[in-house]
Structure 1
Amino acid sequence: MTGEQLGTAETTTDTDTDTDTATYVYAVSRRLDPAALSGLAGLAEGFPVRTLPLGPLTAVVQHVPAAEFTQDAWQQRLSDRAELERCARAHHEVVTAAAACGPTVPLALATLYRGDERAQQALGADQDRFATALARIEGHAEWGVKVSLPASAPEPPRTGSPQSSGGPSGGAGRAYLERKRGLHRARDQHHDRALQTAEDIDAALTRLATATRRLRPHTQDMTGERHRLQVLNAAYLVTTVREKELLDEVETLRHRTGAEVEVSGPWVPYSFVGEV
């Protein structure tokens, strides 16, 4: 899940001590069947995931225990990888269910307000921006593409012998330096080719997309793949009618470039709802 979301979160640190619950907001939709939210657990047991009217729009919300969703409590969740993943999955599950009914703007994880009325006021002030974002993403989905290549070029074969480079004295040294220069040149050329491959793949997929967003490639520490280098990490906003065309193009690019091209989707357009 990537991208910036609309709306301004208001943490429960400002909640009155007499208030038992806060209002957690998952998303804003144009049209939504409340039945689509039935049975979703969300982030808090015992409180149903439900709709909240925002004029012509609809927010997807849930009451949560205020004491368990303070700023300090969220900081603890963020530092606990397992708990953070649980919250992110629960949030995404609700957003995905809402998006199945029509265009949906997901809000950032931990978007909270002191109550329904305050949520309606704050989100209602952003109605025009939400409407613009919903119009932008309607009929579209987000597709993620990551491109990886070998981290280094194959070592050139050793040719000749030290003596052939200038006799017994100094020949081995010159051969060693020449080989080092060759390795540097090969590494630079490999790096340039990898970057060019990333640009070529991005250009080909951009032609099929309504909008694109380049993200920072994952480092080898993040991927855990020491022998491969990620050269492209991008998101593409694609109309549903062009999804097959996108997948066919990815397959063609794999064969043509020899790169490892990982594609994921379709996703709710997290990366594109903030660009209004």
Structure 2
Amino acid sequence: MTERGPEQPSDESALYVFAVCEAPDPAAFSGLPGVAAGEPLRRLPFGELAAIVQTVRAADFTDEVWQARMSDRDELERYARAHHDVVSAAAASCPTVPLPLATLYHGEARARQSLLDEATRFRAALERTAGHAEWGVKVYATAPPAPDPAPDPAPLRTENAAPRSRPAPGAGLAYLERKRGVQAQRERRHEDSLRVAEAVDSGFQDLAAAGRRLRLHTPGLEENGSLQVLNATYLVAKHRTTELEALTRTLRDTTGARIDVSGPWVPYSFVGEV
């Protein structure tokens, strides 16, 4: 949906679209700066729905400028936060479908027509997520121990050198046995971790209207020596928040795993491709 060109005259404007709503209250986002300081946020009606929009300089969102902004972590975070603040404010007042960061159109007429073309999909997403919030769930398990280091090899004896001590008979075999034991323990812990992940996911799936398992974070250990075994997000009815909190406590007790829950969030993960 984004209309962004390689280069735009510095005085040409574009329309930045944050979200689509059923009946947004302008007062909900009137004090927010959006992504263009000094330009007011406003509603753009199309059919029975409305978009939250803001006029921006087209030259600030060319492909070249936006790629440079994407490589600047602080700048990207600033825009992402501004975008999220507007979406969250709108969602607090009515059902809302967030649009991707930097969704732009060249003029209100083109924006309105493009949004109208997607009205059926927007309506389906609003019906699917109305009265629900997104919750993130991450599960961590204790990492298995590292194997013991290999025993020192038997030292070589030179012609004039005195013989040096050799490892005790059977040392190599004992090392191999320890290594096999560590490997077996590692496999058992891996299987246990998978069972924990499945149990937690199953519990939240039973409570949620929908759920998605996401790619695990980097396989490196956390500072406390734990390893992520589940990274998921769930769409939960707002009136079931207390049940979600109770379920989290129960799963922590029954699995013994570290379970981090974050939310409630605007249901970005469940609005579909819009």
State the TM-score, normalizing by the size of structure 1: 0.87
- Given candidates 53, 60, 63, the residue that maps to 1:71 is 63
- Per the alignment, residue 171 of structure 2 pairs with 172
Is 1:205 the equivalent of 2:204?
yes
1:163 matched to which residue of 2?
A: none
**What SS does the aligned partner of 1:271 have?**
helix
Q: Which residue of 2 aligns with 1:257?
A: 255
Query: Are 2:231 and 1:233 equivalent residues in the alignment?
Result: yes
User: Contact conserved, 1:25 with 1:61, CA < 8 A, in 2?
Assistant: yes
Tell me if 1:103 matches 2:95. Answer: yes
- Counterpart of 2:249 in structure 1: which amino acid? E
Residues 139 and 240 in structure 1, CA contact (< 8 A), matched pair in contact too: yes
Q: CA RMSD in A?
A: 2.0
Q: Secondary structure of the residue that 2:86 maps to in structure 1?
A: helix
Q: CA deviation at 1:170?
A: 3.7
In the alignment, which residue of structure 1 is the partner of 2:126? 134
1:49 shift after superposition: 1.1
- Compute the displacement of 1:225 (Å): 3.4
Could you tell me which amino acid in structure 2 is paired with residue 106 of structure 1? P
Is the 1:152–1:227 Cα contact (8 Å) retained in structure 2? no
**1:179-198 superposed matches below 5 A:** 179-198=178-197
Q: Does 1:149 align with 2:150?
A: no
In the alignment, does 2:19 pair up with 1:27? yes
Tell me the alpha carbon deviations over residues 65-102 of structure 1, each in whole angstroms, 9 at most, x when there is no partner.
Answer: 11111111110110000111111100000000000111
Unaligned runs of 5+ in 2: 149-166
Number of matched pairs: 256
Matched-pair contact (CA < 8 Å) for 1:10–1:112: yes
8 Å Cα contact 2:10-2:57 kept in structure 1 = no
Equivalent position of 2:159 in the other structure: none
Taking structure 1 as reference, are residues 171 and 35 closer, same or farther at Cα in structure 2, changes over 3 Å only? same
Q: What is the CA distance between 1:228 and its match in structure 2?
A: 1.5
Q: Does residue 11 of structure 2 align to residue 11 of structure 1?
A: no
Task: Tell me by how many angstroms 1:108 deviates.
Answer: 0.3
Q: Which has the larger radius of gyration?
A: 2
Pairwise CA distance, 1:173: 2.1
Distance 2:108 2:77 in 1: 26
Deviation of 1:155 after TM superposition, in Å, equals 7.7
**Letter of the structure 2 residue corresponding to residue 11 of structure 1:** R
Q: CA deviation at 1:14?
A: 7.2
Flag the 1:28–1:261 CA change in 2: closer, same or farther, 3 A: same
Is 1:247 the equivalent of 2:227?
A: no
> 2:42–2:54: 8 Å Cα contact kept in structure 1?
yes
Opposite residue 117 of structure 2, the aligned amino acid is A
What is the SS of the residue equivalent to 1:75?
Answer: helix
Q: Tell me the CA shift for residue 13 of structure 1.
A: 3.7
Greater RCO structure (CA 8 Å; 6+ sep): 1
What is the rounded CA distance, in whole Å, between the counterparts of 1:65 and 1:151 in structure 2?
Answer: 50
Q: Which runs of 4+ in 1 moved over 4 A?
A: 153-156
Per the TM alignment, residue 220 of structure 1 is displaced from its structure 2 partner at its CA by 4.3
Name the residue aligned to 1:162.
none
- SS state at 2:93 partner: coil
What CA distance in whole angstroms lies between the structure 2 residues aligned with 1:254 and 1:104? 32
TM-score (normalizing by structure 2): 0.88
- SS at 2:223 equivalent: coil
> Which stretch of structure 1 is more off in the superposition, 250-259 or 199-208?
250-259
2-structure distance, mates of 1:260, 1:191: 15
C-alpha change, 1:61 and 1:178, in structure 2 (3 Å) is same
In structure 1, what is the Cα distance between the partners aligned to 2:245 and 2:109?
44
Q: Given that residues 39 and 55 in structure 2 are in contact (C-alpha distance below 8 angstroms), is that contact kept between their aligned partners in structure 1?
A: yes
1:150 CA displacement: 1.3
CA contact (8 A) 2:140 2:229 kept: yes
Q: 1:32 is matched by which residue type in structure 2?
A: P
